[in-house]
Each structure stands twice: as C-alpha cells, then as structure tokens.
Structure 1
C-alpha cells in the first residue's frame, strides 16, 4: 500500500485537523491502528452509512422486533459470542489491541444490544456472562492503549454484567483489574484497597487460581505503594493458593492465566519495583519459561529486567532489555509499556 511522502503527509494531517480534507479509507485503516480508535471516533458519524429507519407510529413495533431478536440469542449464539471474545483475546495477546478497536467495539455493541432487549433471566444471564468477559478484555485493551476513562467505563460495564449474571468470580476479576487503572493514575493506595475488596467480597466463591491471581495483583500494587511487608505477604499467599496441577488457565474464568512460571515473573516484577536485588533471578527464570505467544507480556518482563539491572548498577544490561522492550511495545502498540520504557530511559539520579 503506497502512502504520500512525509512532506505531503504533513499537509494532509493539517487538512484533516482543520476539516479541509476527508480521511479516506486507506489512511483511516492506518490511523485507526496507530491511534487505537474506532472509525467513528476518527472520522465521526458517516452520513449515509446506514439508512435511517422510519419508526412506527407508536414505536412498539420496533421495540418488539428488538425483543424478538434478543430472544433468538440461543445458548449456541452465546457460545459464538464467547468464542469471538477468545479469538480477540488471542489476537490481542500476540499482536496487541491497536488493530482490534473496531472489532472489539462492534462485539461489545452486539452483546449490549442482546442484553438490553432480553426479557427473562434465563435469556439474560448467559448473555450477561458473555458480556462481562468481553467488557473486561476491552477494558484491559483500552488501558494498554492509554484510554484510561474508556477502560474505567468498560470495567464498570463488566461489573454490572457480572452482577446480573450472578458470577462472583467474574465480578472479582473485573474489580481486581480495575484497580490497575487507579494504580496507573497514581492512586496506588486506592488500588490496593480495591483489589483487597475484590478478594474479600468474593471469599470462598472464588477458585484457588483466581485467589492466587488477586493476591499477586495485590503484591504488585503494594510494591508500587511502597509497602514491602504487605507485598511479600501477598506473594506468599499467592503461592499457597495457586494449585499445583500443571495447568495455566482457570477453567471457570478463561481470562486468568496463572501458573508457577507466571507467578515467578510476578514476584520478580514486584521485587524490582521495591528495588530488591534478588528480583533478577526470578525475572530471568520467568524469561526462560515465557510463552512466546505472550508478546506484550514479554515487553513488560523486559522492562522489569531493565529496572532490576538498574538497581544493581548494571546500566549496559538494563539498556539491552529496554531496547527489546521498546521493540515489543511498538510491535503490539502498547502505550502502557511504551510509557514504562520512556520512564526507565530517563536519566537516573
């Protein structure tokens, strides 16, 4: 695909910003991936893209059509929605979320439409369950792309859907991930309180792997908050809770990936944040065992290693990992990891 020269692109950008030129389909595809926005956010509502539907005299016909459509969302259709979420999760893990914004938005809209017009609980609950998984994934993607308000709103959507579906595990997971939005915003004390609330409210209804995940998340956030004793206590609790079954994913909550290799990486991350020298051993063990399909996670792991090497005064090795982290973060379009790279690149005192 050919694009204009750099000098021409500067003129195009100026014209786009000032409304003098419309963004064509070719450049829209590029800009959506780079900026991580939907087509409507980029270009605004497109006139004539969808013919206006004439409402009936009293509006009831349209409402009943939507209700009938929602009723047709059978269990097999719900499974199709969940399969689509799994596909988007896999693509996000390997390639990043920047190129998935339109697909994710359309997926959420379809699920929200189905739930809005479903009438009885036996129809609503399965759709709500599918929605909470999709909304949590969309929220994490938004956070990774730097769209923090969108992330917060989508976690709220995931929590409401989890409450309707009566699924404490999904509610606890969405709440625990939402704590990261607060952590990224600098409200680390609130973040620690929220992830602890998620675990305490879930109680015995949570699976052992999810409890371990929440303890590990608490450890990371405690490290950011400068609470070393709480951090180490949470890491110990995560080890105790994590099943020694050789599995990686929670069968009851497929968005949770956690085995002892992942937990070793999490421990190294937390210790690196605390400035502990022993973080390096854990992080190299995690790097050796890392699943190559978790591309964005590897960017974070490289950042952790850079931070750990800086603590040891090993600037050369730290820079090598930062270079790898930068490449992986750009490859996946991860604004969150690119921000970490830039912070670690700043002159150290």
Structure 2
C-alpha cells in the first residue's frame, strides 16, 4: 500500500503536509471525525512506509481525494474489489433468477444513475466519484454476468456500455490510465454484446485519447479512424460530427494540419442544425454549434492558428457554467493561443483560471496541460 499512496500523492504534486491539509479540509466539509494534525502527519508517514494499515475511514477519504479505487490505493490488501465467488448451486440459481427478473424499469434506473454521475462529474470532477462509479459498474457487471437470455442481457449490456465509457473518461481525467483502458475495453465488450455499433465506436474513439496521452499519437489517429469506419452509415449525424472532431483533435496533436482541417470541415458539415446538444440514442455526447466552436478553437490553438481566438472567446462568452472541467480546458486553450502570439500576460491570467478550476475538479489531465504550457513556453509561475 505504501507505493500506491506515495505515487498518487506525488503525481498530484502534493507533499505529505499538503495531503494532511487536504484530508482535514475534506473532513471539515463532510463533518468527518478524524485524528489531529500531528497524528495525521504520523499516519501518512507510516502508511507510506508500510508501518500502519489504512483503515476503512481513511481509505475512503484518500480514495476521494486522490481519485483511486480501493484496489489501486491498497494493492493486494484490498477487500472491497474481490472477485465474486458463488457458494453452490442455490446461490447461483438465486442470482440467475434475480437477473432474469430484472425489469426494463430497473435498467432505466441504471441508466438514470449513469446520467446523474455524468452531471456530478461535469460540475465537481471525477475524483469525488470513484466509490460511487465503481459500485455502479459492479452492480451492472453482476447483473450481466448472471443474465441468461439475450432479451435480458441486451438492455443490461447497453447500460453497462454507457457507464463503463463514462467511468473510463473519469479515470483518464484523474490520471489513472490503466484503469481507463480497462474500462474502455469493458465498454467495448458490452457495446458489442448489446449490438450497439454507435456505443462501440464511441468507446473506441475515446480510448484513442488514452493512446494519445501515452505518446502514441499516430496509433490514436488510426484507432479513431477505425472507430468511424466500423460504425459507417449506422452513426447518427451528431455522432459522426463528434467522431470527425475527435479525429481532427488527434490529427492536430500529430501535427497533420491539412488532414486536421479537412476533418474539422467534415465535423461542421455533419452536425445537425439547432441548439440541441444531445442525441436521444447517444446521451454520452454533448455537441452543437457552440460546443463545436469551442472544440475547433482548441484544435486551432494546438495548430498555432490565430483564428482560434474568435472561436475561443465566443465559446467563453456562452459557456454553460456547469461545465466546470470544460471551462478549465477552454482557459488552457486561450492561454495557448495567447502564447502563440507572445501575449504572456493574457496567457498567465488564463492559466491561473485553468489551474483553479482543475484543482476544484481534481482533474490531473487539465493540471498536466497547464504545467506543459508553462514549461513549453517558459511562462513565469
């Protein structure tokens, strides 16, 4: 357990003293009774040196602060993620019957819970949702494991595909890349079982961002293009636009400017007109003209294109205040665009806003981008 805690703390750039401070702040906000500051300093040191086990109260608190699952925090000492064991046929039959009797209404409840977690994640960040998201996935996986007939398995698999893809994006946001990859694989398997090519293509395309974060940009481009080919004409117009925009972003990262601009044009041409941003068959996608303008600004900023400014400031003026993490990304984009114009004062102001929002949501991904811009352009902190 010592290595996992120490690594997670250092990835956040926190000292042991900062971790103690954050534990106390969280405890005050949630009315938790924890040890004194002096004792917590000793506990953190002993946890990291393997001299003291992390109890349930502190494990829950640390998981929330660091965006880790129980297994990632405690390693081989975890008990909450143990594999299901079925003790005899009676219990097996009981679980099969429970899954068989799972009503369509219950599946809708699962999907509503995914939507609630998506809303909370958008506003507060993924780090605070690790326990809830893991419990939600476990319930869906268990239901699918013991469902027998396709008529029962299909709806459950569809609900699992949506939940697993959301969990994967949350894991990527907090820096848990291996967990993100595994969740995407789960989402792809569930989408394939549900015979839902749109969900499968979406999971594949988002998984490309894990490859990009790992430095495999060319492979990421190939994966998102394969996702688009795989869904073909079965994609809704909004999903097609989203896939083209995702491809454009990854092409920008690969420094393929001409191909990137072609994909951006295709995204704009594919997007349905109107202010609606949700597809009834693909609730995980938010995309309308306003969102695409923000995305285009992000992509053009990565290319160093001065045209990014109008898109980005236009998006900032109309940004939904509940999209906290997206707003952090928008400030990063504006900082990058100003830095390309050697306007360091304006860039610094946007980097400060981005860091503040990234810290509020616990987004390791956004914090890493802020630090990357600071280092790349030699910005004074």
Question: Among residues 97, 104, 112, which one is paired with 2:141 in the alignment?
Answer: 112
Q: 1:54 to 1:146 in 2, by over 3 A?
A: closer
| Number of the residue aligned with 2:43 | 12
* Structure 1 length-normalised TM: 0.94
TM alignment of 1:26-175, pairs within 5 A? 26-43=57-74, 44-46=77-79, 55=87, 59-175=88-204
Shift of 1:25: 4.6
Residues in 1 aligned to 2:49 and 2:213: alpha-carbon distance in whole angstroms? 33
SS at match of 1:293: coil
CA positional deviation for 1:8: 4.2
Q: Are the equivalent residues in 1 in contact too, given 2:86–2:92 (CA < 8 A)?
A: no
Matches within 5 A, 1:160-309: 160-309=189-338
Residue 246 of structure 1: how far off its partner (Å)? 2.1
C-alpha displacement of 1:54: 8.8
Per-residue Cα deviation, 1:116-142 (whole angstroms, up to 9, x for no partner): 110000000000000000000000000
Q: CA deviation at 1:28?
A: 3.1
TM-score (norm 2): 0.86
| 2: CA distance, partners of 1:67 / 1:90 | 32
C-alpha separation between the residues in 1 aligned to 2:146 and 2:218?
Answer: 39
Q: Could you tell me how far 1:143 is from its partner in structure 2?
A: 0.4
Q: Secondary structure at the match of 1:22?
A: coil
Runs of 4 or more off by more than 6 Å in structure 1?
none
CA-CA distance at 1:46 after TM superposition:
4.9
Matched, 1:21 2:31: no
Pick which of 26-35 and 304-313 moved more. 26-35
1:1-53 CA-partner distances (Å, limit 9, x unpaired): 36656554332112112333333454334311221113454343359x99x98
Q: C-alpha displacement at 1:347, in angstroms?
A: 5.6
Equivalent residue number for residue 374 of structure 2: 345
Two-structure CA RMSD over aligned residues (Å): 2.0
Whole-angstrom CA distance in 2 between matches of 1:172 and 1:149: 20
| 1:315-344 deviation line (CA, Å, top 9, x unaligned) | 000000000000000000000001001111
Structure 1's unaligned 5+ residue stretches are none
1:334 to 363, 367, 372: 363
Distance 1:295 1:200 in 2: 32
Pick closer, same or farther for the CA change 1:244–1:53 going to 2, 3 Å.
closer
1:57-77 deviation digits (Å, cap 9, x = unpaired): xx2222211111111211011
How many matched pairs? 344
